[in-house]
Amino acid sequence: MPEIEQPVGTTLPADETPNTDTRSFGPASTPTHPLATAPVGMPSHSVDGFVREFLHELNTNQGVTLSRSSVNDQYLALASTVKNYLMARWLETGRKTREAKAKTIGYLSAEYLLGRQLGNALLATDLNEVASKGLELCGLDLATLRAQEVEPGLGNGGLGRLAACFIDSLATMDVPCIGYGIRYEYGIFRQTFVDGRQVEQPDTWLALGSPWEFPHPEASVQVNFGGHTEKATGADGKERTRWVPAWNVLGVPYNYMVPGYLNGRVNTLRLWSAQATKAFDLQIFNSGDYAQAVRAQTFAENISKVLYPEDSTPQGKELRLQQQYFFVACSLRDFIDNELEEDFDLHNLPERITYQLNDTHPVIAVPELMRLLIDEHDFAWDEAWEVTRHCFNYTCHTLLPEALEVWPTELLGRLLPRHLEIIYQINEEFLDDVREAFPGDEIRARRMSMIAEHPERGVRMAYLATVAASKVNGVAELHSQLLRDKVLPDFSELWPDKFTNVTNGVTPRRFVKLANPRLSDLISDAIGSGWVTDLERLKELEPYADDPEFKEKFREVKAANKTRLTTLLKARDGIELPDGHLLDVMVKRLHEYKRQSLKLLHIVSLYEQVTSGKLSASDLTPRTVVFGAKAAPGYKIAKDTIYLINKVAAKVNAAPELEGRLKVAFPANYNVTLAEELIPAADLSEQISLAGMEASGTGNMKLALNGALTIGTDDGANVEIRRLVGDKHFFLFGMNEPQVAELSAKGYDPGSYYQSNEQLRSALDLILSGHFSDGDQHQFDSVVFNLLNEDRFMALADFQSYIDAQAKVEERYADQEAWTRSAILNVARTGYFSSDRAMRDYLQRIWHTTPMI
């Protein structure tokens, strides 16, 4: 990075300076035309009107006639058409919210895993039928155009998808919300398999055009980095700190519509893209080094270039900290400058915004708000802290110690010197409070310090978040309890009321209505369509669990969804799914704690028993196991596990004995789009993490809502799913969290399970023999030796219990009437897991605000 001082006076000549004054909105003089004061009208909902609009977009936006248009042209024109239907509502939502001066939720998240936009926009505007008919009249097929969309994969997994569900629910519930995040040019990598190994390809989601975004370069925000601070005494005799940054970049906002379901509200998701500042370029251009200046541009743009694909171990990378500060600085500035009245008194900021910190990734917002208030708005420290601590709440999404972010002070001080000073002062004042509450307990004070001393000096971002937040929440009951008792015990002792739980939820719009139209119609035929925005009404389905006609139709829906999946996987991956199998689905990031290896041991064991003649294939329940999982590119064991799954799959699928009985499918690049196809077809949902490790899980909720039965441990939201659906309709296995803690304390010896369990030993021995690796006995050392010697997540300890639970699965599945009954009851009893309910909980317990209607 070029070390340049903040350039002064490098402005463009007046006649070449574009107007970027975002403070003066609207025309210079009062408009007189009647249309100029109202938002544009909405296009008509008739098929004719739709066709006219679509062809107009095709001609004027794409510049092609229908007969010369590509599928991509058609998709882009269709997207524009649907956007036009949303536009008036979007503008009206903004007007209404500003006028009401309503409190806004500022959701700060480094990730949003949105999924495709077109289907959701059609759903929210009730345009599906009109669009489908209109396109048909043009000789086009809606499904083909929908398939053209590349989903914006701007997240890794659960946390990013949760953010997307939450903003959907807030819009649907008429709550003002701005989602703030980063417009990564490359989202989560595209996974391919080469000879069974994961190979990552860049995700070029913007390549064919991005019709859903609205860039506003004129509203760009400058973000400073580096440099040093200076103290100066002002004319009033007060000492002030001045940050003299070394370099800066521009944040360009890109707005996305977040439509509520059929309610006319359209909220905004604002993602920031990094660009070089003019001043930044000019400084170097003026020095005559043109090539260096262009390189500097690339440097600035790197900040929003790529999503970090790690989903549990923060790597302490400088660019990642740059990303975090970049989007947070833009977002805070944006709200103060553009959403509030010009004369707004920032002492009242908590009345107008509440920032939700989605994990620790945006926590640098805390010192940033302090800096804004103190250095730029002349607040005293105590006044600034009073405002700040009422503006933030913090959600923790993990329990893994290695996933808690700690930023080295060396790095923080170099990149954000003023922020580090502020953090030190927050910490000092906080520790004074601790000492006052626990006099003489210096050990405790040291334990609670935001500054870790080992292995290097660093800022514990979770502690900073906890101190600054009004409320801290976990994402499922068990997780929130463990957060209080094990991760932040000192803090919950000091502030018991600060801690709360909000169990996660998922949006029924995308994950039932859109993904599973057949089930949706069946449900609506039985109980009406109110469930889509009031998911607890699924309870009304309970009596249908004993209705033979309904049960038959329910089975037909599942079968049709399997056929749909079969067609897709054949075309997408060349995978053939057999008919009539129990579809056993494990979809989630590849991580040791999630224990894909345990599922694999089950498969290997079935294979081993049948091929060695211990078990007759005809005794097996015909089953297809589907995996979907990406591994972080630097996570060796996870990648080796993927390789092992593919190698085992190849053997299993080729074994003549298992033909028609056992099949393993591992379609590459599991993402939201594939989830929407897989989940509705699933019979069995694998939620087999070691108890106490999975904060919540949300795939578990989606699968249950789509009528899959869960085989799972007492972990995360499984606990609540089981409580709601009932023990009979959930296959529980494994140790619970206290048992895990006990075994851990006693000393866990995985080898003892290998020694004492014949079935487990045979499965592991078969892998060790090189059977799945063309005779190479060491190919899978990293996976197998790890299980035998360390097995941090105790897969071997839970093996037998898992096998026993699978036997119960098979028994139930053999009785199709009983299985269907359980499946229907899973749907009927899991309405609680709607993200609408989760948002209601946040509104009541954390945000203290209500919808606008």
| Active-site residue set | 397, 588-589, 594, 698, 702
Which letter, b or e, does each residue of 513-540 get, where b requires 16 or more Cβ atoms within 10 Å of its Cβ?
Answer: bbbbebbbebbeebbeeebbbebebbeb
Pick from 727, 739, 677, 729: nearest CA to 704: 729
Query: By C-beta, is 483 or 763 nearer to ligand 26W?
Result: 483
Phi, psi values for residue 258, rounded to 5°: -120, 90
Name the residue with the smallest CB distance to ligand 26W.
158
Minimum distance from residue 306 beta carbon to ligand 26W (Å): 13
Phi, psi values for residue 213, rounded to 5°: -110, 150
Minimum distance from residue 732 beta carbon to ligand 26W (Å): 18
Minimum distance from residue 136 beta carbon to ligand 26W (Å): 40
Query: By C-beta, is 398 or 786 nearer to ligand 26W?
Result: 398
Say how far apart CA 97 and CA 93 lie, in whole Å: 6
Minimum distance from residue 191 beta carbon to ligand 26W (Å): 17
Query: By C-beta, is 310 or 351 nearer to ligand 26W?
Result: 310
Minimum distance from residue 634 beta carbon to ligand 26W (Å): 11
Query: By C-beta, is 494 or 701 nearer to ligand 26W?
Result: 701
| Interface residue list for ligand 26W (CB under 6 A) | 156-159, 162, 310-314, 359, 397-398, 403, 475, 504, 694-698, 716
Query: By C-beta, is 466 or 605 nearer to ligand 26W?
Result: 466
Query: By C-beta, is 169 or 504 nearer to ligand 26W?
Result: 504
Pick from 213, 241, 240, 237: nearest CA to 227: 241
Q: Which helix (H) or strand (E) holds 573?
A: helix 548-573
- Residue 47: how many CA atoms within 13 Å on its side-chain side? 9
DSSP-derived pairing of the beta strands 684-687 and 709-712 = parallel
Say how far apart CA 88 and CA 163 lie, in whole Å: 25
Residue 764: count other Cβ atoms within 10 Å of its Cβ: 22
Pick from 54, 52, 84, 85: nearest CA to 69: 54
Minimum distance from residue 577 beta carbon to ligand 26W (Å): 28
Which letter, b or e, does each residue of 288-301 get, where b requires 16 or more Cβ atoms within 10 Å of its Cβ?
Answer: eeeeebeebbebbb
Q: Tell me the sheet residues that pair with 712.
A: 687, 732
Query: By C-beta, is 717 or 828 nearer to ligand 26W?
Result: 717
35: left (phi over 0), alpha (psi -120 to 50) or beta: alpha
Query: By C-beta, is 283 or 641 nearer to ligand 26W?
Result: 641
Say how far apart CA 527 and CA 538 lie, in whole Å: 8
Query: By C-beta, is 211 or 697 nearer to ligand 26W?
Result: 697
Say how far apart CA 791 and CA 806 lie, in whole Å: 22
Residue 404: count other Cβ atoms within 10 Å of its Cβ: 17
Minimum distance from residue 845 beta carbon to ligand 26W (Å): 16
Query: By C-beta, is 302 or 313 nearer to ligand 26W?
Result: 313
Minimum distance from residue 766 beta carbon to ligand 26W (Å): 31
Give ∠ CA 379-385-387 in degrees, rounded to 5.
80
Say how far apart CA 529 and CA 537 lie, in whole Å: 9
Query: By C-beta, is 311 or 737 nearer to ligand 26W?
Result: 311
Minimum distance from residue 689 beta carbon to ligand 26W (Å): 8
As a dihedral over the C-alpha atoms of residue 428, residue 434, residue 438, residue 439, rounded to 10 degrees, the angle is 20
Say how far apart CA 198 and CA 131 lie, in whole Å: 39
Q: Which residues contact 462 (CB under 8 A, 6 or more apart)?
A: 360, 363, 394, 396, 404, 405, 487, 488
Q: Which helix (H) or strand (E) holds 259?
A: strand 247-259
Say how far apart CA 625 and CA 643 lie, in whole Å: 16
Minimum distance from residue 632 beta carbon to ligand 26W (Å): 8
Minimum distance from residue 479 beta carbon to ligand 26W (Å): 8
Tracing tokens 């925000």 back to the chain, one arrives at: 221
Say how far apart CA 90 and CA 270 lie, in whole Å: 13
Q: Which residues contact 658 (CB under 8 A, 6 or more apart)?
A: 607, 610, 611, 617, 620, 652
